[in-house]
């Protein structure tokens, strides 16, 4: 029995509120249980220096937590004057993941900035960020197409992310909340497309290890979670979901 | 006629949603028109070095904007590696303002961290932060008293903040939205208690000046705005408002 | 009776020594009592990026203290690797104040850098900086006009700054020295033109408040102080004062 | 046919030179093809603050490249004043990996600092770092045991790391060199113990995706590579290999 | 003939104004020609961590220039967020030089902070800083002895510094001004005691070299300069000079 | 008798291994006793901003130590976020020294980056860096000439560096190892050309002084050391030594 009564293959309650903030081209507030993240997508008409003149675009991501998103208050990274290794890892992961399902040529020389700001944290903030950011990105692409700035729908497939953990007593568990995450021996984050292709697979046995058969059970659970999340993304996108074929 | 149809002495629609985030001792989402700020109050059982051993507490404030709270995206201060002068000015103002209505001896050797995070900006983010932060502070004090950590109610009076501007054509205007702020010749921020005592008065004629009679009209408007805001704070606080006598 | 024997409406002894340093276009050493500040004005033939191509200029200010300008030694901000919030507030204030009395179109695409370096501090360093910087600016403008770089005198009016405090026992006091400032309940800095127009008004009740009638007494004192300071500026400028009409 | 003539399941030539530097408790120069890394292990008699008083130790890792380890010169991170996200990711990976095979209680309140400095880079620097650091760690543990500082051999199993890539034309390839890495669609880094347990699995489809059956082929290759590397580690350790049972 | 009419073995006009600033234990304004430096000495009753508990003191030095001390304005190091290599070199040199003539045991566990702030620069700022700082240090030691904090006079000998350059046409020149420094092929800074012992010798042939016989001529000139400077130090110290035996 | 049995005028065993790293245009591993430094020379086809358009090149140097090059581990400067004063002094010294023997016009608008990375330290790392960097520079120049990028051999003379110390008991000692350096009263670093011309002379009496006759003995020893080092450089350069005439 899990701490919040879920079955081992059950994800937390998910909601995706679109257009949560008015200025960005796309924005959502995604909640997965008590984890809540504001994801926004900003379209900028230029690319980073290394891409100039190549006729293709870029997706860059940033991630942060409000200081009191967590149980105890964290010092702001702006006050510390530097971004932590954890933050860097997460924002690189979000950017890479979204780039894998978009046709960068189709968006032209533009950068889409993805900002994921966690306002309340209860485990799984990086996976919720990716799942929410995908919707914000789709909303932004829809708006840019409506304005005629780009011609063709550039997103190739759905994309969502989920965690799976291994608990020494309860075995494999889908979508860890914070308490579960803190005691898990193995923590796997899976980023996957609508066609069940892997985009990212990051598994860590912090002071532990895992076998290949455990890996297979983990991946089976992940596929279930991804399917459920993509269902929620489709609901949130409404008509725009049509564009995804 | 103002850009959003208000009278010159009319504030924007205000709402204060309490307990917006679950972890902090006190939290609100304050909206003043399209300006929306998450204000949280965190109680920490220690004080900064310069206050140790004096038997009194401290209130420290931090302020930030999400990158896309504004019309165009701002670079995160954590990415830049330093906090801007504007941010520092605002967070020092919030801290000083709240300290003026609290009896720091009554909270003992504790720091209350006030975090104001603007999720959507449309002018007046610093004044909305102060008005919202006051409610978050009161909620936190109520919780700490309930837990028996402090004995006596430490807040001496209500506190709210409002802007007044001078427009070369429309004269004095209460509670500027972003468009009005951008074209105002004079910008005054007034922080005031429930007894109409000034806590802070910051008036700037950016590339302009203002006379003493204009100052008087500005302050008359400010008093109206403060009264309206304190009315909203009382509603939001419900029973806790009783503690304020 | 004040600590240094002055009347409550009396400013400290003021002297303004022009051309204190040889390289800058304009420079002064201003002394207000024991507060001494070197103010220099440097004219640079370019503007910050946000102003390029608009045919107008800019005034930017920086402020610093020598480490031992104060009773106890301060760590240099260059050693700390960052500028404090207090410094930022002051340098933004100096820049805004001077911009309000200059016609930025008349100086063309140039930046005037104002540097205020406090070599000895005894209260009122920010107001002495503004009063001294105005003279340095006027000297620099005179030099640039003499060289034919700009055609018309760009300064619209005199500008000076003074502090007024409220002491719980002695009431309102003009031009606080350090000891008075440390015990004052209210601290008001007023930046004003020769025509008694406000440019900046910054009043703070640190852990205290003040009423509207106190505000009026404060402003009466400020006007006296400003008049005295502008008298000193005229003496220091000599013939150049003629240019101000 | 691979660029350097290897079979798809063949690793590059590996050599591990022990005691390459004289001061550290353990050190090696590991070469995998043209990738060369100096790995050192330093034993410090204290732990980071979060572990104090718990009777257990810690392993911390740092990673860097000489500026001209690569084809074109990189700016030093010390000159830039900050460590890149890539560096942070790698040093966190190295630390986590080594902690998974050591019994931290057995080393007592000590920190082992692992430093991996790449002097020549040709792909696979993070995996070579882990493989080499394992040997440096074992050498250091042997020395500390000889000195009687710790009683029992603390390392639980061998540990090595290898990359596997997927090339759109050549399929799955073991141990990518730089040229292969640059054109690979999928890049998987596998950290594994002597018993074929996973410690870390990090797979990325940069602008691409991979299926579950591809994953299985990748992992089959990885196991081959790990076995070969552990063979080399045993040779390098000589008598010390006995301690590993 | 030199640019300012001096003979090749003649130093510039020197003046040392003592007690230039009121707060520090010792302070001077030293002028060497148009180079003017405020030197202060602050006595702090503690030592840096590496010296604690050893019963001896330390001398630490910091050096800076006002932005417009020079012909064109320099960006403040506090704004840049880091201290330049040149500044570091100079402040390390000043500290080492003064430590060589003081008996650190006699000052007990105290740090003397030397601050050298150049308000006007015309070559030779580091040597003027050392020569002036010596006087500030002696003034501070006199004050600390008067207060009974230390028992015995701790300064062992006089200390001054001078530059000598080699010009391709004019040969060896004593005490270079800025214009001479800019065109000199060789630049030697000599720090010397009253007994003509070397404390520091730093000679640089920027894009040039110098022979041993040139070195000897340079050192002959340096001795002349040092004698003249120590004469000025004695005058400035007045009665305190007696303490130096 | 010296700690390692050498005569007072004897340098440590020297070896210079060329082409130690494959990517740079020139590279060596220089060993002087137990001090080992990797020196690389990188040719970049552009110059720093201050030199653009002048038809001449530049030599820039950077210096660093691996964390465990020393007896106890040093914190990386990249982790600290800033480069120490010592590092800056050394890299400026290396750059200036090499620039004195190269004809910067002959290399055209190119920068040669010299990187000196100490992998094992036992005293004299800065002098070993200069001696090794000279060889790396010569190797790089040879390669650039072979490729036809520059026409004429640009190096004017050999260049090497050596330390000489004064020990209170043993007198003047050539080429100090770490133990000797730690107890020396005077430390002199001499950078000299093949023609016995000085390029840099940096002598420091840390908490001590030295006389002119001691200086002469120091310089006599230095010349012996320089001759021995240049002999080693010629051997290492082989045929390329011919180019030096």
Give the residue with greater pLDDT, C126 vs C81: C126
The C-alpha of B52 sits at a distance from chain C's nearest C-alpha, in angstroms, of 18
Chains in touch with A (3+ beta-carbon pairs under 8 Å) read B, D
3-state DSSP call for residue D153?
A: coil
Looking up tokens 């700001």 gives: A117
Share of chain F above pLDDT 70, in %: 100
Is the pLDDT assigned to residue E57 strictly greater than 90? Answer: yes
Residue contact C76–E81, C-beta within 8 A: no
DSSP category for residue D124: -
Residue of E nearest to F204 (CA): E200
Closest to C168 measured CA to CA, from C126, C214, C203: C214
| Chain D residues with CB-CB distance to A219 below 8 A | 212, 215
In chain B, DSSP assigns E strands to 14-18, 26-32, 35-44, 58-65, 111-120, 159-167, 171-174, 186-193, 198-204
Residue A214: predicted pLDDT:
96
3-state DSSP call for residue A3?
A: coil
Residue contact D212–A196, C-beta within 8 A: yes
- Closest partner CB to C67 (pick from E62, E79, E81): E62
Residue of A nearest to B40 (CA): A68
> In the predicted model, what is the mean pLDDT of chain E?
95
Distance CA F182, CA F143 (A): 40
Q: In degrees to the nearest 10, what's the CA dihedral of E47, E49, E53, E58? A: -30
Q: What is the mean pLDDT of residues B106-116?
A: 97
Residue B77 phi/psi, 5° resolution?
-70, -25
Is residue C124 marked as binding?
yes
DSSP string, A153-167: --B-S-EEEEEEEEE
Residue contact B201–C197, C-beta within 8 A: no
Residue contact F69–D113, C-beta within 8 A: no
The C-alpha of C78 sits at a distance from chain E's nearest C-alpha, in angstroms, of 4
Is the pLDDT assigned to residue C79 strictly greater than 90? Answer: no
Helix C85-99 and helix B85-99: axis angle, to 10°?
A: 110
| Chain B residues with CB-CB distance to A24 below 8 A | 68, 73
Size of interface E-F (CB pairs under 8 A): 98
- Closest partner CB to B199 (pick from C96, C193, C209): C209
- Closest partner CB to B66 (pick from A79, A83, A115): A115
Distance CA B164, CA E241 (A): 64
Residue of F nearest to D115 (CA): F67
Give the residue with greater pLDDT, F245 vs F91: F91
Distance CA D212, CA D203 (A): 12
Residue contact E120–C68, C-beta within 8 A: no
Across-strand partners of C186?
A: C166
Residue C82: predicted pLDDT:
83
- The pLDDT tens digits of the residues spanning A151-166 come to 999 999 999 999 999 9
| Chain D residues with CB-CB distance to F64 below 8 A | 76, 78
Residue contact E76–C76, C-beta within 8 A: no
> Can you list the alpha helix ranges (DSSP code H) found in chain E?
77-80, 85-99, 125-146, 178-183, 212-237
Distance CA D61, CA D91 (A): 5
Is the pLDDT assigned to residue B207 strictly greater than 80? Answer: no
> In the predicted model, what is the mean pLDDT of chain C?
95
Distance CA C112, CA C136 (A): 10
Contact A162, A174 (CB under 8 A): yes
| Chain D residues with CB-CB distance to F112 below 8 A | none
Non-local CB neighbours of F70 within 8 Å, separated by 6+ positions? D23, F121
- Closest partner CB to D64 (pick from F70, F78, F119): F78
Sign of the C-alpha dihedral computed for residues C170, C173, C177 and C178 taken in this order: positive
Share of chain F above pLDDT 90, in %: 92
Name the pairing type of β-strands B111-120 and B58-65. Answer: parallel
Q: On the CB side of E178, how many CA atoms lie within 13 Å of its CA?
A: 12
- Please indicate, yes or no, whether the overall pTM of this predicted structure exceeds 0.95: no
| Chain F residues with CB-CB distance to E100 below 8 A | 205-209
The C-alpha of E142 sits at a distance from chain C's nearest C-alpha, in angstroms, of 18
- Helix H or strand E segment including F229: helix F212-237
The C-alpha of E26 sits at a distance from chain C's nearest C-alpha, in angstroms, of 10
The tokens describing D182, both together, are 């640059």
Which chain C residues have any C-beta within 8 angstroms of a chain E C-beta?
A: 21-24, 27, 34, 38, 40, 42, 44, 62, 64, 66-71, 73, 76-83, 87, 113, 115, 117, 119-120
| Chain A residues with CB-CB distance to D85 below 8 A | 85, 88-89, 91-92
Q: Is D75 exposed, middle or buried (0-12, 13-18, 19+ CB in 10 A)?
A: exposed
- The pLDDT tens digits of the residues spanning D60-86 come to 999 999 999 999 999 998 888 888 989
Across-strand partners of B38?
A: B29, B117
The C-alpha of F120 sits at a distance from chain D's nearest C-alpha, in angstroms, of 6
> Can you list the alpha helix ranges (DSSP code H) found in chain C?
77-80, 85-99, 125-146, 178-183, 212-237
Q: On the CB side of E146, how many CA atoms lie within 13 Å of its CA?
A: 9
Is residue F126 marked as binding?
yes
Chains in touch with B (3+ beta-carbon pairs under 8 Å) read A, C
The C-alpha of F69 sits at a distance from chain D's nearest C-alpha, in angstroms, of 7
Is the pLDDT assigned to residue E245 strictly greater than 80? Answer: no
Contact A187, A210 (CB under 8 A): no
- The pLDDT tens digits of the residues spanning A30-48 come to 999 999 999 999 999 999 9
Residue A183 phi/psi, 5° resolution?
-105, 0
Is residue F68 marked as binding?
no
Q: Is D71 exposed, middle or buried (0-12, 13-18, 19+ CB in 10 A)?
A: exposed
Sign of the C-alpha dihedral computed for residues B71, B73, B75 and B76 taken in this order: positive
Contact B20, B30 (CB under 8 A): no
Name the pairing type of β-strands B35-44 and B26-32. Answer: antiparallel
Closest to D118 measured CA to CA, from D36, D14, D26: D36
Distance CA E24, CA C24 (A): 28
Residue of A nearest to B27 (CA): A68
Mutate to test the interface with F, among D17, D19, D23, D86 (most CBs of F within 10 A): D23
Is the pLDDT assigned to residue A66 strictly greater than 90? Answer: yes
Residue contact A76–B78, C-beta within 8 A: yes
- The pLDDT tens digits of the residues spanning F193-222 come to 999 999 999 999 877 899 999 999 999 999
- The pLDDT tens digits of the residues spanning A189-207 come to 999 999 999 999 999 987 7
The tokens describing F80, both together, are 């600290």
Q: Which long-range contacts (CB under 8 A, 24 or more apart) does D173-176 make?
A: D173/D2, D173/D8, D173/D221, D174/D8, D174/D9, D174/D10, D174/D11, D174/D221, D174/D222, D174/D224, D174/D225, D175/D6, D175/D10, D175/D11, D175/D12, D175/D32, D175/D124, D175/D127, D175/D225, D176/D123, D176/D124
Is residue D126 marked as binding?
yes
**What is the CATH code of the structural domain delimited by D14-243?**
3.30.230.70
- Closest partner CB to C42 (pick from E21, E68, E80): E68
> Can you list the alpha helix ranges (DSSP code H) found in chain D?
77-80, 85-99, 125-146, 178-183, 212-237
Distance CA C90, CA B39 (A): 27
DSSP category for residue F75: P
Residue E202: predicted pLDDT:
96
The C-alpha of E61 sits at a distance from chain C's nearest C-alpha, in angstroms, of 11
Which chain D residues have any C-beta within 8 angstroms of a chain F C-beta?
A: 21-24, 27, 34, 38, 40, 42, 44, 62, 64, 66-71, 73, 76-83, 87, 113, 115, 117, 119-120
The C-alpha of E202 sits at a distance from chain F's nearest C-alpha, in angstroms, of 5
- Closest partner CB to F210 (pick from E99, E198, E209): E198
- The pLDDT tens digits of the residues spanning F128-174 come to 999 999 999 999 999 999 999 999 999 999 999 999 999 999 999 99
Q: What is the ipTM of this complex?
A: 0.94
DSSP category for residue F102: B
Mutate to test the interface with E, among F199, F202, F206, F215 (most CBs of E within 10 A): F199
Distance CA B58, CA B55 (A): 10
Across-strand partners of A179?
A: none
Residue F204 phi/psi, 5° resolution?
-135, 130
Residue contact B198–C208, C-beta within 8 A: no
Contact C105, E154 (CB under 8 A): no
Is the pLDDT assigned to residue E10 strictly greater than 90? Answer: yes
| Chain B residues with CB-CB distance to C196 below 8 A | 211-212
DSSP string, D37-58: EEEEEEEES---GGGTTSS--E
Residue A208: predicted pLDDT:
83
Residue contact C67–E40, C-beta within 8 A: yes
Closest to C73 measured CA to CA, from E49, E30, E93, E43: E43
Size of interface A-D (CB pairs under 8 A): 98
- The pLDDT tens digits of the residues spanning D196-236 come to 999 999 999 877 899 999 999 999 999 999 999 999 999 99
The C-alpha of E132 sits at a distance from chain C's nearest C-alpha, in angstroms, of 16
**Angle at CA of residue B125, ends B13 and C97, nearest 5°:** 125
3-state DSSP call for residue D4?
A: coil
- The pLDDT tens digits of the residues spanning B30-61 come to 999 999 999 999 999 999 999 999 999 999 99
Do you know the residue count of chain A? 245
Sign of the C-alpha dihedral computed for residues A42, A145, A110 and D211 taken in this order: positive
Distance CA C239, CA A156 (A): 75
- The pLDDT tens digits of the residues spanning D157-204 come to 999 999 999 999 999 999 999 999 999 999 999 999 999 999 999 999
């Amino acid at each position: 029995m899990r701490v919040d009564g879920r079955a081992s293959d059950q994800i937390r309650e998910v909601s995706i509120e679109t257009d949560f903030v008015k200025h960005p081209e796309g924005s959502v507030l995604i909640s997965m249980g008590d984890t809540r993240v504001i994801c926004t997508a900003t379209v900028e008409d230029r690319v980073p220096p290394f891409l100039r003149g190549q006729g293709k675009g870029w997706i860059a991501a940033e991630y942060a937590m409000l200081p009191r998103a967590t149980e105890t208050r964290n010092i702001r990274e702006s006050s510390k004057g530097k971004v932590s290794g954890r933050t860097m890892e997460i924002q690189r992961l979000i950017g890479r993941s979204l780039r894998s399902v978009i046709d960068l040529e189709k968006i032209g020389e533009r950068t889409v900035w993805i900002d994921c700001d966690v306002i309340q944290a209860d485990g799984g903030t990086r996976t919720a960020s990716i799942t929410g950011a995908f919707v914000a990105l789709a909303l932004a692409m829809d708006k840019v197409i409506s304005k005629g700035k780009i011609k063709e729908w550039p997103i190739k497939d759905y994309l969502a992310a989920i965690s799976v953990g291994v608990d020494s007593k309860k075995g494999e568990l889908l979508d860890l909340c914070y308490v579960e995450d803190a005691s898990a021996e193995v923590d796997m984050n899976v980023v996957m497309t609508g066609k069940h292709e892997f985009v990212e697979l990051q598994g860590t046995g912090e002071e532990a290890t895992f076998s290949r058969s455990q890996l297979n059970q983990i991946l089976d659970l992940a596929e279930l979670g991804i399917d459920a999340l993509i269902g929620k993304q489709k609901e949130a996108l409404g008509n725009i979901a049509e564009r995804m074929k």
